[in-house]
Structures are given as C-alpha cells and as structure tokens.
Structure 1
Amino acid sequence: MPLLISIVMLSWNGLKYTKECVESILRHADESIQIQFVFVDNGSSDGTIEFLQSVPSSKLICNQENKGFAAGNNQGIAEADGEYICLLNNDTVVTEGWLTRLLGCLKNNPNIAIVGPRSNNVAWSQLVYNVPYKNSAEMEVFALHWSLQHKDTGFFPHKLIGHCMLFHKDLIAKIGGMDERFFPGNYEDDDFCLRARVSGQILWVANDVYVHHYGGSTFQTNKTNYSASAFSNADRFSKKWSLGISGLELDQFGYNPSELVEREKPFRIERHYIPINKK
C-alpha cells in the first residue's frame, strides 16, 4: 500500500501560482506515494477556492480572513492524515523525483527532523545562484541535470526556509506547531527549525532536489508590506529568543542558530513546545 504524505498548502489569491504548483505535483506523482492535499485558503476572491474544490484527494479549509502563514499551516497540520507532512508554498513548482528523494533522506537517517530542497529564490544555504532557465520547460531540464550532478548528496544547514519542508508527523507531537505570533509571515520557519534542533534532532538539505520558488507572491498579489512584516517579526523573534538586538539589526546581520540551539538545550515543554489549537 502506498505511503500517505499530506501536502499542506496555503493560498490567499494568486490562482495562477496555485494552479501551476498543484499541476506540477500531480505531473510528478510517484506511484509508491499517495498524496493528500490539505488546502488552507485565507480568504481568496479570485477563483482559487473553486479551483481547489476540483483537486482530487484533498481537504479544503476556508478562512474568512487571512490568518497568516503560521496559523494557516497549523490548521492544515491538524487536518493532515499522512504519516509524513510537507509544508509547501503555493508559489513553488516541484520537479521530477522531488518528494521521493526528500522522503528518502528522512527514512535513511532517523535523526533528521526536517528536510528541504535547493531552490532559486530563498535565503541561506539552500540558494542556487544565477539559475540559467527562462521558462518552465528549461527549468525542468535544469532540475533534472542538477539532481543527476548532485545525486545522493546533502548537508546540514543552520536553518531551513519554510517554502518547502518535509517531516514525520511525530515531530509535531514532539515540538508542536508553528508559533502564530509571527503574523502574517517571516521568522516562523526560523523558530520551527530552532525548536526541532533544540529537541535533539538535525536539519537536512537534499542537495539533489530542486524546487522552483517564485518567492513573495502572496505579499505582492495582496499588496502586503513584506518589509514591515519582516522587521516586526524579526523584533518578535529577537525578544522571544533573548538575542539582545533589535529586529532591524537581526534582519540586517542575522544570528548564529547553532550557538542559540546550544544555549537553549535541553528542550523544555513550557518554553519550546507550541500547541496546535484545532480551530
């Protein structure tokens, strides 16, 4: 019987991105994996909801307003039936073998809490610089060559970007969900990864998996101020983790995740666990 993986995907308008993402997932489906879509819509008005209703093997949660990235993902996680859960942004385009190889990383090393891919529009070590493709067809060819060139390789990152994360459902029982105080988005993925590392597990980048990321499409589509969200959540993050610097300083100069993890160990329920409220 195929392994069930739940893909949690948020949307807030941006129908063209969501369609392209879902179609890429279906196009690159693996017979050994059964996919369950868990869609969380944050108040779309552009036909997105109607499209999501037509997608097979899916659950759909419709919010009347934008609940943000963390809360939306928590809603989806609470409804996910899969043994593994993938948080995937709706402005990504997946490629051949993406999910099989991500899953293989988790199965081959039980110490890995979360695995993510390489990508074009992300920060930190997952970034592939200066990708040469100009359209989706060229992107598919690039991704295939990339996966062959980097077959079965990977590395330990300080953190993972939240546009594509795969983990076992047991991680949620261990560390909880995303911290909804990071509204509407930014730094909730830093926080989630830190708590996973404080719990004693590691992060992994599957170097042979490439996922295209448009990046920032929800902010752009809905004319939301990305910088304001980044700065305010950087300030929240700094205060929560007692970094002793302003949000502006954090956003400009960053922080040392490994140093912070060692300072925070061991994992304490009262400080590090974030319960998911089923609502």
Structure 2
Amino acid sequence: MEVAVVIVSYNGARWLFDCLTHVFGSTIALKVIVVDNHSTDASCEIIKGFTDVELILLDENYGFGKANNIGISYALSKNADYVFLLNQDAYLETQTIEQLIEVHQKTLGYGVLSPIHLNGKGLGLDINFSNYIQKNTSLVYDALKGHYTALVYDVPFVNAAGWLVPKETFKSIGGFDPIFYHYGEDVNYCQRLLFHGYKIGVVPNVFLLHDREQRITKEPQTDAEKLQLVERKLKTHWADINIEVETLITRYKHSIKKTIVKQILQLKFKRVFYYKKELKLIDSLLLEVQKSRRLNREEHPHYLNSHTTKRV
C-alpha cells in the first residue's frame, strides 16, 4: 500500500520544520510531496533540509486548491492508494494516518476521513473545527461524555487541514475546483462528495494540531477587499450542486438593484457605485459558476493531471 502526504507551502517557514518533523515521525512509510507556491521566505530551504521530501516548485502562487491538485496528480502518478492532504501549519501525531487508514478499511462509503483537529498547543479543539462537529450531535454528546460510541462520525463538512482521501475518491470526482483560489475549495469539495453519494467522516481519538490561533483576520476595508469576500461567498453558495440556484441568483440581483435605488434616494452615491460593482461582479461570475456546476455533476477526474511541474 502506497500512502502519500501532500503539503502546499507558501511562506510557511514558521511552521514547516515542525510540520515535516511530525510527518516523518509517522508509524507507517509515507511518500512526502511538498508543492511550494513560489514562497519568498525561507520555506524552500527548510523543506530541502528533509532529504526524503519530493519538492515541486511553482513559478507563481497558484492558490491552495490548484497547488494541491498538482501534488495529488503527482501522488497518483506514483501509484498512491491514499493521499493525505496536510496544511503547512498542522502537525500530525505519530499514528494519525495509520489509524485513519485502519478505520477507512473497516467502513464503507467515505470519500474523506479527518482526525480531531486540536489547537496548536493541543490543549483544546481548534475553534473552527469545534463549529464543524456541532453538525453531528452524537459526536458532541459522546465527546462531552468522554466515551465514543462510533468508529467514525458523519459530518457535512470538515476543513482540509488534514484529510485522508482514498484514490477512488479522486478517480470519481477529481480534485479541487480551480474557480476557488484560496478558501472555499474544501467547502465545494465536500458539497461534491455529498452529491456523488460519498460520506465525510471524523474519527475520534485520532488527532492533529492546527497551529493558527495567532493568525490575524482583517476585516475588509476597501471596495476591492469587500468584493473579494462577496465573490468567495457567492461562488461557495452558487457552485453547490446539491441545490438549484437560478431563482436564488435572480432574487439576489433584484435585491441589489432595489438597494441601489434606495441609496440614490438617500444621496449615498458612494454606496451606489459599490453596489453597481457588485452587480457587475455577479454577471462576471455566472458563466464560471455554470461551467463549474456542469462539470462537477459529472463523474470523472476533473482538474487533475493538467500541469507540468519542476521537481527538486
């Protein structure tokens, strides 16, 4: 059995030594592939210090999803039976991957399995992860009791900081959708998993640490930043192939047009200009989203094996 770990790095020098050290401490043999998104810090020097890493250098920052697709494609070309997608700021425990594989081989229908995500110090749950698992009340209840009654718990979504993915998943529904540059691609992937009949599972008593507590999230200030956030939210919602969106899009455009009229009557012309930009954004997204929905309803490996890479 061949197991590959794919890590996308981008200016992650503060985490990469610990990340890779934990990977190489795993209890099973792993092929470790790092795809670097054109880092400008010491990331590549740190990665090259691990002689067993296969490093793929990209000539620009392709974003999280596309860079992962490059790593996944390479892993599958090397006959990987499983690919473990790992964030550069996440640290595995020694048995994490081995235990997840054991659970996958005992269960049916799971397209993705994930461990419990702890915070960077391992003293509690990662705050975002704690929100995801609330979708399964049995998991929350069992966790509070300290006694897990299931081998794996189904959830509609878990973030891609640590995913075990069998090759059959990629062969069936492909890689991440490139309409998402950074953020939203894992939400979309989970939507597609559910549409095609796969389950998403969290495995109790199996852990990784996600070291992101100190990361500062800035509120968007400029119109460009606000529109970027709107674009991501609209794509995530409208590209969901589990729902029909034509009426939703029509209503959303209508509400923006009504808002523009109100802003004109209130002489708030700066806001008028912003909402006109949002209308233009919506029109520019429609063809892209429609193409995405059409492709992702099909069953074959979109978005993989589509990039020439340089290995080091």
Q: Tell me which interval the TM-score lies in, with the shorter structure as reference length.
A: 0.7 to 0.9
- Matches of 1:6 and 1:268, distance apart in 2: 27
Shift of 1:186: 1.3
Deviation string 1:186-227 (CA, Å, 9 cap, x unpaired) is 11101111212221121110111121112388987xxxx998
1:53 lines up with 2:48 in the alignment: yes
After alignment, is 9-18 or 93-102 more displaced?
93-102
Relative distance call for 1:83 and 1:219 in structure 2 (3 A) is farther
Unaligned runs of 5+ in 1: 128-145, 247-263
Note if 1:240 corresponds to 2:239: yes
How far apart, in 2, do the equivalents of 1:212 and 1:97 lie?
13
Residues 152 and 226 of structure 1, relative CA distance in 2, 3 Å threshold: farther
- Residue 274 (structure 1) aligned with residue 302 (structure 2): yes
1:34 is paired with a residue whose SS is coil
SS at match of 2:29: strand
CA distance in 1, matches of 2:186, 2:170: 14
* Residue in structure 2 matched with residue 19 of structure 1 by the alignment: 17
The structural deviation recorded for 1:54 is: 2.6
Aligned-partner SS, 1:55? coil
Q: Offset of 1:157 from its aligned partner?
A: 0.2
CA distance in 2, matches of 1:77, 1:269: 20
* Alpha-carbon displacement from aligned partner over 1:131-190 (angstroms, at most 9, x marks no partner): xxxxxxxxxxxxxxx9x965964310011211111111121110011001111x111101
Q: Give the Å deviation of 1:230.
A: 4.8
CA–CA separation in structure 2 for the residues paired with 1:98 and 1:227: 38
Whole-angstrom CA distance in 1 between matches of 2:196 and 2:109: 11
1:207 matched to 2:200? The reply is: no
State the SS of the aligned residue for 2:105: helix
What code does the residue aligned with 2:209 have? H
- The change in CA–CA distance for 1:65 and 1:125 in structure 2 (over 3 A counts) is same
Between 1:90-99 and 1:67-76, the stretch displaced more is 90-99
Amino acid paired to 2:212: G
Q: Who wins on radius of gyration, i.e. which is larger?
A: 2
Matched with 1:39 is 34
- Kindly report the root-mean-square deviation, in angstroms, between the aligned alpha carbons of the 2 structures: 3.1
Distance 1:240 1:151, change over 3 A: closer
- Aligned-pair CA distance for 1:115: 0.3
Distance in 1 (alpha carbons) for counterparts of 2:68 and 2:116: 21
Q: Is the 8 A contact 2:171 2:301 kept in 1?
A: no
**Distance apart, 1:58 and its partner CA:** 2.4
Distance 2:215 2:168 in 1: 29
Q: State how far apart, in whole Å, the 2-side matches of 1:66 and 1:217 are.
A: 23
- Partners of 2:214 and 2:81 lie apart in 1 by 29
**What is the 5 A alignment of 1:149-168?**
150=148, 153-168=151-166
Q: TM-score, normalised by structure 1?
A: 0.73
SS in 2 for 1:177: coil
* Cα pair distance change 1:74/1:269, threshold 3 Å: same
Q: Structure 2: which 5+ residue stretches go unaligned?
A: 118-125, 135-143, 218-223, 253-292
- The aligned counterpart of 1:196 is 193
SS of the residue corresponding to residue 67 of structure 1 reads coil
